[in-house]
Amino acid sequence: APDDEKCLKKLLREFQVQFCGLGVSVARQYYHARKGADETPLEYLHRLNVAGLRTKLRVKSGPSDVRREHVVHFIETLDDRDLADQLALLRIWDADALEEVLRARQRAKNRQGRARFSLSLCTEAT
């Protein structure tokens, strides 16, 4: 039983370090952030914004070079190369503009999903 308890404590500690960032500086958490497989690009942007603010980077209200670097960091750490290329072509200068683009993209995807769903209902009915 003591070995099990020791093993559980070690496992908990590893989990806290790996997934909660325990023992990792907030700057490291920001600069090593990557989009999770289960995150939308918009969710990842929000998480990255929070991480940036925790590092005292003024990602929303700072100088234009800081805001632009935040957008570049987002694009470079995005796991979707096609979307990253499209965003790079738009020459977005700050997180607010990036958020607007991602929200519009999400709305368009939601509309497409609903259209496909209603189309499949129509074809099933015939």
Q: What digits encode the pLDDT tens for the residues 3-62?
A: 888 888 888 777 766 666 555 677 888 888 899 889 999 999 999 999 999 889 899 999
Q: Choose among 63, 59, 65, 64: nearest CA to 99.
A: 59
pLDDT of residue 104: 96
pTM, 2 dp: 0.70
Please determine, for residue 122, whether its predicted confidence score (pLDDT) is greater than 70: no
pLDDT at 117: 59
Contacts 24+ apart (CB under 8 A), 76-82: 77/33, 77/34, 77/35, 77/48, 78/35, 78/41, 78/44, 79/34, 79/35, 79/37, 80/35, 80/41
Structure confidence by residue, pLDDT tens digits, 55-102: 898 999 999 999 999 999 999 999 899 999 999 999 999 999 999 999
